Structure formats: structure tokens, C-alpha cells
Structure 1
Amino acid sequence: MPAILAMSLAFLLLLGVPVFIVLLLPVIGMLEFTTSTPQMLVIQRFFSGIDKFPLMAIPFFIFAGNLMAQGGMSRRLIDFASALMRPVTGGLGVTSVISSMFFSAISGSSPATVIAVGKTMLPAMTSRGYGRAFPIGILMSSGALGIIIPPSIFMIVYGAVTGASIGALFIAGIGAGLVYGVLFIIVAMIYAKAIGMQDAGAWDLREIAVSGRSCAWGLAAPVIILGGIYGGIFTPTEAAAVAVGYAVFVSMAVYREMSLEDVWHCAVDSAVTTAQVMIIIAAASVFAWYLTTSGVSRNVGAALSIFAENPVHLLLLINVIVLIAGMVLDPNSIIIILVPFIAPVALAAGIDATHLGIILAVNAAIGMFSPPFGLNLFVSVSLGVSYREAIIGALPFIAVGIAALLIITFVPEVTLWLPAQFYSGISY
């Protein structure tokens, strides 16, 4: 039975069938031909999979991210980062990473980060002599920070599935995001030095002050969101709604770059994106339910438990499994399909639930730009990049991402020290 299920999944993926159908169709077939279970349960599980209060944050964060991208925040953040990095060797590459970190902390979306930062930075780096592959690769890989740095939609889904504290996951993502981002900054500087890139010039304090003042409203967004959560003012779900209100206010009243009609179009685009995310979560919950009721989860868990006595071996195996899954599945499907296998064994081996969530988030981030189906590979096409160019650009940065993953995996203090100061029960 597991072999037939796996072959069905692989066949449908190779045909290019939409992911939610890939997850639903084999379950419907297996229920029809191997059990007497009524198909009505598929529909029930489909809707119950998204009937979770924390998931309400997803449409709000998507909407807030789109508002901030189209309302002028992303451009101002890039201008500020560029002013700060002007004298640094490889300043444009470093600016791309820092801008992605800033925007990820606002939008919580990897594809939105790639588009928002890439529209400005790809032409700038290409015209400056960075070549073609490097700019594409660093934009896709640093754009994946949207999964790691809070507010992260991935972490919201993980928290909803496992019951882990979303607040703890958010704050743990800060340390992980910094480690990931710093490694890419170092690579950008080394690459620029290797190709003989010259510094662009000295700091212009007036430009820094002007651009900093201009983007102050954008920089305040993550402070308000995270400060409100950790200050006990509102929950992560309520924070998402606050983010939307803040983004509308800044875009319309402060920057005055959006009209009511623009906000409406942004809301429609966000609704479409939300539907795409939610239908995958719903279908993946059906798939996870079938794996559990059919005993596949139990058998896989038993196989993984062999490694539970040695957490190092178990973590290495988890990373390999999720990295491979990330090549073909989107991050939310990874959570709902794999976490029922992985989480019980990992927790039994003494791995903290928050640490496990961050490890899975970094794996999923790498999967966003891993061929053949990494979403950022396809998103980059909207920047005028071919799929082949995207793959060539991504390959070297997969190695950098794995280096960050190993640090985050085996030095848990990186991610857990900060949340341990706010939440009891987190150990490292």
C-alpha cells in the first residue's frame, strides 16, 4: 500500500498536476478500492483541516505584505539598506540580503520578498557587473528568509498542527534568520572581492538620514507586530489584523501611494493567494489523516524511532528527508504531511518542539529555491529570468543554505536562547 501511494504521488507530480489534487486523488482512490470508508470523510477532513483559529492569521499577513510591497515600503527599505552598504565591497549583494531580511520581517512571505526586492536589485546588480547567475541566486535564496524571519506563515501552520507556541517560534526565527542572512552576506562580499568589484564610495550621512527617515514607518512594522505579541497586547492572529490596519494607514495616509481602488485590487490579489495556500493545507490535512488512519504514519514512525537513541543521527535524517521533500512540495504541505511522522519521534528523542520547527523552516526555505519545483525558481520568471537561469543561479546557494542549516541544527542556542528568556519549558 505505501508503495502504491508513493508511486501515485510521483506519477501525478511528474504530470504537473496541481499539488492539492496530487494529495487528494491517491487518497480518494485508496479509500475507494481498498476500504469501505465513505468518501464523505474526505470532504469532512478537507474542511476541518483549515478550521483552526491560528490559520486566520494567514490571509491577514498575506494582505499586509502585499500592501507594504505596493505601498512604497519595500522601495524605501531598499534605498535605506543601499545607503548603509555603499562603501562595502559587494554592497549591492549585501543590500539584497539585508533588504530581504527587512521585507521578510514585514511580509512573512518568501515569494513576495523575491519580487519586491528583485524588481529593484536584479537590474542594479546586473548592470554593475555581477553577472547574471549570482544576482538571481542571491535574490532567490535570501528571499527565502520570508519563511524563517517572523512573522512567518510557515510557523503559523506548524504551530497550528503541533500545538507549539507561535510566539516562541517567531522569536526563535530571529536568531535563525540572522545566522542564515549573515552567511549570505559573507558570500556576497567574498564573491565581489573575487571578481574585483570596487567599493561604490563613502557613506553619505545626509542620504542615510533622509532614507532612514523615509523608511522609518516600514521599520516600525515588525516592532509593532512582535512588540505587541511579546508585550501581551495581542495574539499572533490579532497581530496579523493589526499589521493590515497599519499597512493601510501608512500606504494611504503617510506615503500616499495607494488609493482605495488600489487597496481593493490588493485585497483581491491577497484573496487569490490565500485560496492557493488554504486549499493546499486542506488537501494536505486529508492526506495526513489517511496516512495516520491507514497505519503508514505508525510504520514510518517506527522506522525513524531506530535513530531516536542518537539525536544527532535523527536530526541528520530529518534534514535529509525534508530537504528532499522541499524539492517537490511547498512548505505548508511539508508540515502537514511530514510532521505527523517526524514530530513524535523527535520529541521522544528530547528535541525541543520550537527547535524542530525552526529546523523544518530552514529546510523549507532551502526548498523554496531547490530544483525542480522550488517556488522561488518560478517566481523569478516574473523578473525576466528563465527557468534554466534560475536553476544555475540557485545551485551554489543551496550549499550556503545547508551550511546555515547545520549551524542552526547542531547549535540550538542560536535559536533557543532568546525564546527561553520569554517562555518557560524551552530547553537547549
Structure 2
Amino acid sequence: MVVALIGLLFAMLLFGVPIYISLIFSTFITLALFTDVNSMVAVQRVFGGIDKFVLMALPFFILAANAMDVGGLSKRILNFARALVGHLYGGMAMATQIAAMFFGALSGSSPATVVAIGRIMYPELLNQGYPKKFASGLIIQSGAVSLVIPPSITIILYASATNTSVGSLFLAGLGAGLFFGGFILLFIYLYARYKNFPKGKRSSAKEIWKAIKDASWSLAVPIIIIGGISFGIFTPTEAAGVSAIYAIFVGMFVYKEIDGKKLYKLCFDSAKTSAQVLILVAAASAFGWALTVAQAPQMLAGFVAETFTSQWTFLIFLNLMLLVIGMFVDSTIALVVIAPLILASALGLGIDPIHLGIVMVLNLAIGTFTPPFGLNIFVANSITRLKMNEMLPGIMQFLWVSLIGLLIVTFIPFISTILPELIYG
């Protein structure tokens, strides 16, 4: 049954059938042909997959991300980052990465970060004399950290799939995301110094203060979200609603870049994006349930028990598996389907589910810019107008560095678990 289920899925995908239809129909047909289970149960599982309170946060965070982009919050974060590091070797590139980390903490969306940061910074990087391949690789990679730094949509999906604390995962993602982003910044600085990339002029104290003051409304968002959740002021869903209202308020009445027409459009776009994400989650949930009916978790647990005797060998296997899957499969689907399957095996080996979640999310984050099908590559193509072979050298530079960062996060759980332990004990 497992072979039939997965075989049907890949066959439909090869023929160009939309992903969510492939997931639902492969589940429906397999149940009808190979089990005594009523196929209509698959339909119930589709709706059951999104009947979870924690998923209510998704549309609000998507709305918040769009409001921040349209409302000018991302532009002011960029100016703030440039004022801080623009005078260093590779300062403009470092500012791009820092801005992506901040915007990731505002939006939780990798493609949204690539678009919001890339369309402003890519022309700036070229004007400053950066090679096209390096600039495009930087822009494509920059969105990856958005999947790790809270409020990450992907982390919310992991929490929903495994019944793990969203608050603890957000804190773990903050620690791992800051480390991962800092690791990329170190590479940018050293590489820029080696290649003698241009330095910008040093900002005066007055210019830095102005940048901080202009960005202060934007920088308050992650404090509101993470602080509110960590200290029990509101739930992740309530935090999402607060961040959306806050972003719209700032865009309309503080920065005054959102009018009635733009508000309608960003709400419409957010609803469309939310529907696209949630229908994938619903379909993947039904597919994951069918795998459970086929006893895939038990088979996987038996394989792991026989093959891997330590946490480290299991984590190496998990990294390799997810990196390959992330090249071809959307991170939403991969997470919702795979996380429940491997959770029991990981717990049996004594792996912290919080650390496991961060390792999985970081793997799939790297998958968003891994050739040939990384989503960020296609999103960035509309900005860079470069062919794959032109972007590939720059992508590979950041891919190798990211893999080293992934290994460090994987084998030093302290990076992920320190903040949840300090806050929650």
C-alpha cells in the first residue's frame, strides 16, 4: 500500500497535476483499491487537517507580512541595517542579510522576504559593484532564515503536526536563527575582505539615530510577538492578530503608505496566499494519515531501530533525507507529512522534539534555495532576470556555508534549547 500511495503521488506530479490534487487523489484511490476503509474518510481527513487552533495564526502572519511590505516597514529596516554595517567590507551585502533576518522576524515567510528585500537591494548591490552571481546568490539565500526566526509559518506547521509547544519552538528558532544568520554574516565579511568588495561610507551618529528612529515602529514588531508569547501575554494566534493590526496601523497612520485601495489589495492577496498554504496543509494531512493507515510510521521506526543506534547517526540520516526531499518537495508538504512519521523514532533515541523541529525546519529552509527546484530561486528570478546557470555559482557559495551552519546547529542542541530552557525551565 505504501508503494502504491507514493507511486501514485509521483506519477501524478510527473504529469503536471497540481500538488494538492495529487496528494488528495493518490490518497483517495489507494484507500479505495487497497483497503477496506471508506474512501470518504479521506475527505474528512482533508478538513480535519486544518481544523486546528494553532493554524489560525497563519492567515494573520501572512497579512502582517504583506502589510509590512506595502506599508514601508521593510524599507526602513533596510535603511537601519545599512546605517549599522554599510561601512564594513561587504557592508551592503551584510545589510541585506541583516534586513532579511529582521524582515523574517516580521513576516515568517521565505518568498516574501526574498521579494521584499531583493527588489530593493539587488539593484543597490549591482550599483555598488558586487558581481551578479554573488548578489543573486545572496538574495536567493537571504529568505531561508525567515523559516527559522519566529514568527515562522513553518514552525507553526511543525507544532501543529507534532503537538509541540509553539512558544518553545519560537524561542528555539530565535536562538538557531540568530546563530545561522550570524554565521552567514561572518562568511560575507570574510569573503568580501578576501575579494576586496566595496565599502560604503560610515554613517554619522546623527544618521544612525535617524535610521533607528525611522525604523523603531518596524523593530517593535518582533518584540511584541516574541515577548508577548514568551511571557504568556497572548497566544501565538493572538500574537499574529496583534502583529497584523499593528502593521496595518503603522502603514496607514504612521508611515502613511497604505491607503484604502492598497489595504483592499493586500487583504485580497493575503487571503489568496492563505488559501494556497492551507489547502496544501489539508491535502498533506490526509496523505500523512493514509501513510499511517499503511503503517509507514511503524515500518520507519523498525528501520531506524535496526539501523541507527545513536542520536548522531539518526540526525545525519535525517539531514541527508530532508536535504534531498527539500530539493523537490514544498517545505509545507514535507513537514506536515514527515514530522509525525519520524517523531516517535526521534523520541525513542532521546532527541528533544524542540531541537528536532529546528533541525527539520532549517533543513527545509536550505531546501528553498537548493537547485534544481528551490522555491526562492524561481521567486528571485523575477527580480534578477538571470538564467539558472548564471545564478548557480552564487547559490552554491551560500549553499556550502549554510550546510556547515546546519551541521553545527544539528550537533550542538544547546543552540536551539538554551532560550526555551531559560524562559520555561
TM-score after normalising by structure 1: 0.96
Aligned to 1:399: 400
Alignment match, 2:44: 44
1:39-188 map, 5 Å: 39-188=39-188
Give the conservation status (yes or no) of the 8 Å contact 2:136–2:384: no
SS at match of 1:30: helix
Distance 1:335 1:301 in 2: 17
What is the CA distance between 1:27 and its match in structure 2?
1.6
The one-character-per-residue Cα deviations of 1:277-335 (angstroms, maximum 9, x if unpaired) are: 00110000011000001112221221122245211100101111111111111222111
Q: What residue is the counterpart of 2:213 in the other structure? A: 213
- In structure 1, what is the equivalent of residue 422 of structure 2? 421
257-266 vs 383-392, which moves further: 383-392
Query: In the alignment, is the contact (CA less than 8 A) between 1:308 and 1:345 conserved in 2?
Result: no
Deviation at 1:392, TM superposition (A): 4.0
- Determine if the alignment matches structure 1 residue 278 to structure 2 residue 310: no
1:367 maps to 367
Unaligned runs of 5+ in 1: none
Match of 2:233 in 1: 233
Stretches of 4+ moved more than 6 A in 1? Answer: none
In 2, are the aligned partners of 1:59 and 1:271 still within 8 Å (CA)?
yes
Size of the aligned set, in residue pairs, is 424
1:268 is aligned to 268
Aligned twin of 2:204: 204
Measured in 1, the distance between the counterparts of 2:316 and 2:193 equals 33
Tell me how far 1:8 sits from its aligned partner: 2.9
Distance of 1:319 and 1:219 partners within structure 2: 33
Give the corresponding residue for 1:408: 409
Matched residue, 1:316: 316
State the 1:15 CA deviation.
3.3
Instruction: State the alpha-carbon separation in 2 of the partners of residues 283 and 296 from structure 1.
Output: 18
1:96 and 1:420 mapped to 2: Cα distance? 31
Q: Answer yes or no: is the 8 Å Cα contact 1:108–1:152 preserved in 2.
A: yes
CA distance in 1, matches of 2:387, 2:231: 44
Residues 13 and 187 of structure 1, relative CA distance in 2, 3 Å threshold: farther
- Looking at structure 2, the residues matched to 327 and 14 of structure 1 have their Cα atoms a distance apart, in angstroms, of 15
CA distance, structure 2, for counterparts of residue 207 and residue 330 of structure 1: 42
What is the alpha-carbon distance in structure 1 between the residues aligned to residue 41 and residue 5 of structure 2?
19
CA RMSD in angstroms, aligned pairs only: 1.4
Amino acid at match of 1:408: V
CA contact (8 A) 1:308 1:346 kept: no
CA distance, structure 2, for counterparts of residue 317 and residue 62 of structure 1:
33
* Counterpart Cα distance in 2 of 1:50 and 1:359: 24
Compute the displacement of 1:5 (Å). Answer: 3.3
> Structure 2 CA distance, aligned partners of 1:145 and 1:303?
32
Letter of the 2:160 partner, please give it: A
Correspondence for 1:336: 336
Q: Which moved more, 1:366-375 or 1:22-31?
A: 22-31
TM-score relative to the length of structure 2: 0.96
User: For residues 208 and 278 of structure 1, what CA distance do their matches in structure 2 show?
Assistant: 41
SS in 1 for 2:220: helix
Conserved? CA contact 1:138–1:184, under 8 Å = no
Deviation at 1:137, TM superposition (A): 1.1
Unaligned runs of 5+ residues in structure 2 are: none
